[in-house]
Amino acid sequence: DSNFIVFLFFIITGILSTLGNGYVIFMSSKRKKKLRPAEIMTVNLAVCDLGISVVGKPFSIISFFSHRWMFGWIGCRWYGWAGFFFGCGSLITMTAVSLDRYLKICHLSYGTWLKRHHAFICLAIIWAYATFWATVPFAGVGSYAPEPFGTSCTLDWWLAQASVAGQAFVLSILFFCLLFPTAVIVFSYVKIILKVKSSTKEVAHYDTRIQNSHILEMKLTKVAMLICAGFLIAWIPYAVVSVWSAFGQPDSVPIQFSVVPTLLAKSAAMYNPIIYQVIDCKFACCRSGGLKTKNSLKKSR
């Protein structure tokens, strides 16, 4: 039964996301005074993903099991706000991480002065940005509404069908909360890839301390690139369907077709802890190999 499969999918992704992101936050809290700026951003991303799981998943699981939205109009607006708030927070966090990586790899003169307090200032800006755009619909500019299949709520993309003001609202959300952040992320990582290709030989001539620092920066960059790729792969199909709903013919998106992108988007919070662990394991192996090499050099000396 397809309904049972989707219900099971919600349960599994909700549990894995909660446990995985909870673990990341717990382990980071044990070394909170030693976290680098990029790692602080990673923790913030885990907080956003945990928020999506804890706040959103129980509502959608219960409603899907009941085949209808169970929490009324206020519950729908709260669910829509929370989902958009944490989703926007995730994307803007990844945008900040991509800029941090870009400055650290491509512009060392700027990257060297990026300290922990800059990361905390950046966090304040991220939360303010997400709060502003998630709360704009409550000011009468837009709204939150049930999705076509009726078991969750989202931004009211269908306002674009009703008025010019609705179109302006939807276009503003798309630009400031998807297209602009995505353009910054793509620009940053394209520049990083080009820089790494041209500077690999240069790094080989530096001493061991600089090489180790470079390896760590590249590890953090790989994590950031994989996380951004996973997020965009998960959310872009949902964004395409939303735009189609907003500017296409009314009821032109089949309900069954709209379910799959929604499920893919809601599973995005589950991937990041897996990415952290895979990269950490690889890095630990490299680091242990490097330690053995250092020890053998000391013995030979």
Task: Answer whether 78's CB lies under 8 Å from 43's CB.
Answer: no
HSE-up (13 A, CA, CB side) for residue 75: 14
Q: Does residue 250 form part of some domain? A: yes
How many structural domains does the chain have?
A: 1
Q: Would you say residue 43 lies in a domain? A: yes
**122 or 276, higher pLDDT:** 122
Number of neighbours of residue 42 by Cβ within 10 angstroms = 24
Lookup: tokens for 139: 């000011």
**pTM score, whole prediction:** 0.83
Q: Is residue 301 part of a domain?
A: no
Give me the CATH number covering residue 189: 1.20.1070.10
Interval 40-86: pLDDT, tens: 888 999 999 999 888 888 888 888 888 888 999 999 999 999 999 99
Q: Given pLDDT bands bounded at 50, 70 and 90, which one contains residue 176?
A: very high
For position 230, what pLDDT does the model report?
Answer: 84
Question: Which two tokens mark 125?
Answer: 């800006």
pLDDT band at 136 (very low <50, low <70, confident <90, very high): very high
CB 145 within 8 A of CB 156: yes
Q: Under DSSP, is residue 26 helix (H, G, I), strand (E, B) or coil?
A: helix
Residue 153: inside a domain: yes
User: Has residue 37 got a pLDDT over 70?
Assistant: yes
Asked whether the beta carbons of 141 and 169 are under 8 A apart, the reply is yes
pLDDT tier for residue 161 given thresholds of 50, 70 and 90: confident
Under the banding of pLDDT at 50, 70 and 90, the label for residue 124 is very high
Domain of residue 112, residue span: 2-275
Percentage, residues of the chain above pLDDT 90: 24
**What are the helix (H) ranges across 67-107?**
72-106
In a domain, 300, yes or no: no
Q: Residue 208, Cβ neighbours under 10 Å: how many?
A: 11
The verdict on residue 286 lying in a domain is no
pLDDT band of residue 290 (cuts 50, 70, 90) is very low
183-200 pLDDT, tens digit each: 999 999 888 888 877 765
In a domain, 56, yes or no: yes
Q: Evaluate whether residue 133 is within a structural domain.
A: yes
